């Protein structure tokens, strides 16, 4: 028996062979240009040559983010490189402490070490740092924000032009953002008491060089050559392996523990039980997550669909008849997180469990888009 559940998908019923890249349920980014405005903030992009840095530029442009000047910063290796942006050519500057003089908003994605070293300096100089690394996420004084989930956590922070002063705001880990975009609306309704997450993570989460390595290895393997393994210790092409972050004494890797700890901080709930298994799969730029939920209160799958249909930044792709559900390819370059395989967990009584499959573009909503949305809350 197949589901007759109404989903947005049914509004557009695509032919069964429609490419996942063109799934009509998913919102395309708008084409509005970033706005050069005298009253806009001075914006710095730190790590602009990287996977997230490049996406920052794309998202700022597409969302018409106002700015009066833009600084593009990276390491000495990239200093002097010319980057075309919005019809102008910008020269990448080497990142130094003085880079933040006069900067209002600094979008950081140059690794945890750089964030730890220069994030506080930028904040002392009056910038609001939106940091993509894990450096400050669990710092009790630093808000950890998903704008659709807990914008109130940063409500005390204002730009210095608005009587505020410098501060650091942390962007959660990409897996946490994608997971909580879909799960939080259900949690608000029925209260999650336990969550089991299994991730299928793409190359992009490990940066631009990892994406290049996956492409190179794929060609090498198809040509019968030994794959080049510089970023990962194992062959990545045509493979699945445990996430490459360090394994901790409790047997969990760091990525898994980020899901546990960040969920508790973002929900302001130390009691929620979370366990995770994080894997790398040979996809390019979007993560998939299988999520099992246990609720304090009953929640049937149709009510869950109704809740998710109204959730900002979420689309449902859940067509059992066509066996059409979210895919990493389908959400790549899209803003929305896609939720499907919504079903009652038959191992739990009284409608107290649900299973979900969520896909999200982790460079976009899992990193750059979420950070730019945080910056938008400051305007």
Cβ at position 364, least distance to ligand NAP in Å:
9
What binding mask, one character per residue, do residues 234-273 give for ligand NAP by CB under 6 A, x or -?
Answer: ----------------------------------------
User: What interhelical angle do 208-222 and 51-62 show, nearest 10?
Assistant: 110
The smaller minimum CB distance to ligand NAP, of residues 186 and 202, is found at 202
Three-point CA angle 274, 276, 192, nearest 5° = 30
Residue (of 268, 16, 314, 259) closest to 140 by Cα position: 268
When the beta carbons of 64 and 254 are compared against ligand NAP, the nearer one is 254
Distance CA 13, CA 339 (A): 17
Q: Which CB atom, from 14 or from 112, has the smaller least distance to ligand NAP?
A: 112
Of 26, 186, 366, 373, which one interacts with ligand NAP (CB under 6 A)? Answer: 366
Scanning 12-20, 106-114, 235-243, 271-279 for contacts with ligand NAP by CB under 6 A, the matching segment is: 106-114
Contact between 325 and 357 (Cβ < 8 Å) = yes
Q: List the catalytic residue out of 174, 179, 278, 359.
A: 174
- Whether 51 and 207 have beta carbons less than 8 Å apart is answered as yes
89, β-bridge pairs: 84
Distance CA 346, CA 315 (A): 24
287 counts as catalytic: yes
Q: C-alpha angle 100/106/110, rounded to 5°? A: 95
174 tagged catalytic: yes
| 353-361 and 337-344 strand pairing | antiparallel
- C-beta closer to ligand NAP: residue 47 or 353: 47
Tell me whether residue 291 or residue 367 sits nearer to ligand NAP (CB atom): 367
| Rounded-to-integer distance, Cα 206 and Cα 204, Å | 5
Binding segment for ligand NAP (CB under 6 A), chosen from 120-128, 205-213, 220-228, 298-306, is 205-213
The yes or no reply on residue 119 touching ligand NAP (CB under 6 A) is no
160-199 footprint of ligand NAP as x/- string (CB under 6 A): --------------x-------------------------
Q: Which of 5, 25, 42, 50 binds ligand NAP (CB under 6 A)?
A: 50
Scanning residues 67 to 96, which ones bind ligand NAP (CB under 6 A)?
74-75, 77-78, 95
How distant is the alpha carbon of residue 236 from its chain centre?
22
Rounded to a whole number, what is the distance in angstroms from the first to the last CA of the chain?
A: 50
Residue nearest to ligand NAP (CB): 50
Provide the annotated active-site residues: 174, 287
């Amino acid at each position: 028996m197949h589901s007759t559940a109404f989903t947005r998908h049914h509004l557009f019923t695509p032919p069964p062979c429609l490419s996942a890249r063109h799934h009509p349920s998913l919102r395309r980014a708008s084409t509005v240009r970033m706005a050069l405005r005298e009253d806009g903030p001075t914006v710095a992009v730190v790590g602009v040559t990287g996977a997230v840095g490049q996406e920052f530029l794309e998202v700022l442009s597409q969302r018409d983010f106002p700015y009066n000047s833009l600084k593009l910063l990276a390491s000495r290796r990239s200093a002097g490189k010319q980057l075309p942006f919005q019809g102008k050519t910008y020269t990448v500057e080497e990142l130094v402490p003085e880079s933040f003089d006069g900067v209002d908003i600094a979008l950081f994605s140059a690794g945890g070490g750089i964030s730890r070293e220069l994030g506080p300096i930028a904040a002392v100089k009056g910038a609001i740092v939106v940091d993509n690394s894990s450096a400050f996420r669990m710092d009790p004084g630093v808000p950890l924000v998903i704008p659709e989930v807990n914008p109130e956590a940063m409500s005390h922070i204002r730009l210095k032009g608005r009587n505020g002063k410098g501060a650091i705001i942390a962007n959660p880990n990409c897996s946490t953002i994608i997971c909580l975009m879909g799960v939080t609306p259900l949690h608000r309704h029925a209260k999650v008491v336990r969550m089991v997450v299994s991730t299928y993570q793409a190359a992009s989460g490990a940066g631009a060089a990892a994406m290049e390595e996956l492409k190179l290895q794929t060609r090498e393997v198809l040509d019968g050559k030994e794959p080049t393994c510089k970023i990962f210790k194992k062959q990545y092409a045509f493979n699945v392996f445990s996430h490459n972050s360090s394994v901790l004494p409790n047997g969990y890797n760091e990525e898994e523990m980020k899901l546990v700890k960040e969920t508790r901080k973002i929900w302001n709930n130390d009691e929620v039980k979370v366990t995770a298994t994080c894997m790398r799969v040979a996809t390019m730029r979007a993560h998939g997550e299988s999520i099992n939920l246990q609720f304090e209160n009953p929640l049937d799958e149709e009510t869950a669909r109704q809740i998710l249909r109204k959730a900002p930044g979420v689309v449902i792709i859940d067509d059992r008849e066509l066996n059409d559900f979210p895919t990493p390819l389908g959400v790549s370059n899209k803003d929305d997180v896609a939720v499907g395989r919504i079903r009652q967990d038959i191992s739990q009584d009284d409608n107290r469990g649900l299973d979900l499959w969520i896909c999200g573009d982790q460079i976009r909503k899992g990193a750059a888009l979420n950070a730019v949305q945080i910056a938008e809350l400051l305007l």
